[in-house]
């Protein structure tokens, strides 16, 4: 689905990836990012945020915290980032990026509280008073005051399975008062996830009940005397929905896939952000007439049911653009050593580039990650090869 958008809107990037791979400058099993497109996408998001008075924090787990791509986001105007977990925070901090938010999707383990506060995140989210107390002890030990957000929920709110947690909306004001009374902490606001979701039937992004819950809790907190609250409302964010979020009271958003043009809405509508990421493999061998390509990153974020995986296959860009081939992925309960191509008479030989366009989550894979610049020029450049945990790879050692 995203492959069609890439072919239509960013064909030079696809061609550059194939050329660089065939030159031996990009490895198989590699997410490749168009740094120039990411910088422009970041500019669009930052400008939309500024226009609507909404702070924009970038999410980078989808691209494995690839430093050149994150630098491109900073160049585009996204100045701070949300860390999905402590590994994410450490990767961002190690490369000198500002952490705007930590602890939301994955709470901070007790033994990591000091390390978390030491990174000086703008905000830490807690799901319980116990987690607030841990953050407070770390803050006092370091002589700082830590801003705290709380996750809130009400009956009917939506969570992905395994993401549940937080304070019931009816007790949020009491929780805020208690947190505000703890030495070392400042109560700063509320959050949820997801505030928006893609509705496939309508081909539109719609608010979840969570967004209404955020607004009601913020109103109650205002009546209790809390001022200048952060209303953090992440989920399926793009410049297209920024004004709607601002109307609903959001003051902070956390785009991730919008930075690479891979939100569900980008697959079905022509949005301002350009597609900027592919998964690169190559044909390893042929068995019983079926070519097999290397895996390691064959994880598709399942926002669309019944996703049909296809790839461009060839030894040069011209051949690959004429050669769109269906690929069978291993079952979800199997290790993705290989994908199986079904060429149906189209050419596919060992060493050919295999380029996918799908919605990635690089941080849960064992793939390489790279960024390239100058994709539209005669001399595209590889800006380094990285691991999906944000550390530098030794490839091609």
pLDDT at 37: 98
pLDDT band at 397 (very low <50, low <70, confident <90, very high): confident
Q: In the predicted model, what is the mean pLDDT of residues 375-389? A: 97
pLDDT at 330 > cutoff 90? yes
pLDDT at 332 > cutoff 90? no
Sign of CA dihedral 122, 128, 131, 135: positive
Nearest of 211, 221, 222 to residue 249 by alpha carbon: 211
- Whether pTM exceeds 0.95: yes
pLDDT at 307: 77
CB atoms within 10 A of CB 350: 11
Rounded CA separation 275/257 (Å): 10
- Cα 187 to Cα 180, 226, 252, distances in angstroms: 5, 9, 16
Rounded CA separation 20/380 (Å): 8
pLDDT at 1: 76
pLDDT at 308: 85
* 3-state secondary structure at position 135: helix
CB atoms within 10 A of CB 147: 17
pLDDT at 108: 98
The mean pLDDT value of the chain amounts to 97
pLDDT at 315: 98
What percent of the chain has pLDDT above 70? Answer: 100
CB atoms within 10 A of CB 204: 15
Q: In the predicted model, what is the mean pLDDT of residues 117-126? A: 98
What percent of the chain has pLDDT above 90? Answer: 96
CB atoms within 10 A of CB 240: 19
- Taking only the tens place, the pLDDT of each residue in 274-326 is 999 999 999 999 999 999 999 999 999 888 877 789 999 999 999 999 999 99
Sign of CA dihedral 64, 3, 42, 125: negative
Helix residue ranges per DSSP H, 290-378: 317-321
- Taking only the tens place, the pLDDT of each residue in 27-70 is 999 999 999 999 999 999 999 999 999 999 999 999 999 999 99
Rounded CA separation 355/280 (Å): 5
The residues that bridge with 204 in the sheet, in sequence order, are: 199
| Among the ranges given (152-166, 211-225, 239-253, 294-308), the one the predictor scored with the smallest mean pLDDT | 294-308
Sign of CA dihedral 369, 373, 379, 381: negative
Contact 21, 389 (CB under 8 A): no
Rounded CA separation 337/147 (Å): 44
- Taking only the tens place, the pLDDT of each residue in 180-194 is 999 999 999 999 999
Q: Which domains does the chain have, with CATH numbers?
A: 2-33+272-387 (2.40.37.30), 38-256 (3.20.20.10)
Q: Using only C-alpha atoms, what is the Rg of the chain?
A: 22
Q: In the predicted model, what is the mean pLDDT of residues 321-334? A: 95
Q: In the predicted model, what is the mean pLDDT of residues 321-340? A: 96
């Amino acid at each position: 689905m995203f492959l069609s958008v890439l072919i239509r809107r960013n064909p030079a990037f696809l061609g550059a990836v194939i050329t660089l791979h065939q030159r031996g400058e990009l490895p198989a099993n590699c997410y490749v990012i168009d740094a120039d497109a990411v910088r422009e996408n970041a500019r669009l998001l930052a400008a939309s945020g500024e226009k609507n008075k909404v702070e924009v924090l970038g999410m980078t787990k989808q691209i494995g915290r690839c430093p050149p791509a994150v630098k491109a986001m900073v160049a585009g105007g996204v100045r701070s980032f949300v860390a999905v977990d402590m590994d994410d925070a450490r990767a961002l901090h190690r490369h000198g990026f500002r952490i705007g938010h930590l602890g939301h999707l994955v709470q901070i383990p007790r033994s990591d509280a000091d390390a978390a506060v030491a990174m000086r995140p703008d905000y830490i989210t807690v799901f319980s008073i116990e987690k607030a107390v841990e953050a407070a002890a770390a803050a006092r030990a370091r002589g700082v005051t830590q801003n705290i957000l709380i996750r809130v929920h009400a009956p009917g709110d939506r969570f992905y399975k395994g993401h549940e947690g937080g304070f019931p909306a009816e007790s949020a004001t009491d929780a805020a008062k208690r947190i505000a009374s703890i030495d070392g902490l400042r109560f700063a606001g509320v959050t949820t996830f997801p505030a928006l979701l893609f509705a496939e039937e309508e081909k539109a992004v719609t608010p979840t009940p969570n967004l209404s819950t955020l607004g009601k809790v913020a109103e109650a907190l205002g009546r209790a005397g809390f001022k200048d609250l952060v209303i953090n409302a992440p989920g399926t964010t793009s410049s297209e929905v920024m004004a709607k979020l601002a109307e609903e009271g959001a003051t902070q958003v956390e785009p991730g896939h919008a930075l690479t043009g891979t939100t569900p809405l980008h697959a079905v509508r022509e949005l301002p952000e350009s597609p900027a990421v592919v998964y690169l493999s190559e044909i390893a061998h042929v068995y019983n007439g079926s070519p097999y390509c290397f895996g390691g990153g064959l994880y598709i974020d399942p926002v669309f049911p019944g996703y049909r995986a296809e790839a461009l296959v060839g030894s040069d860009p011209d051949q690959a653009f004429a050669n769109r081939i269906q690929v069978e992925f291993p079952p979800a309960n199997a290790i993705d050593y290989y994908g199986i191509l079904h060429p149906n008479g189209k050419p596919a030989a060992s060493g050919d580039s295999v380029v996918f366009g799908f919605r990635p989550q690089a941080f849960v894979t064992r793939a390489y990650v790279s960024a390239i610049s100058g994709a539209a020029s005669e001399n595209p450049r590889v800006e380094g090869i990285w691991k999906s945990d944000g550390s530098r790879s030794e490839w091609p050692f």
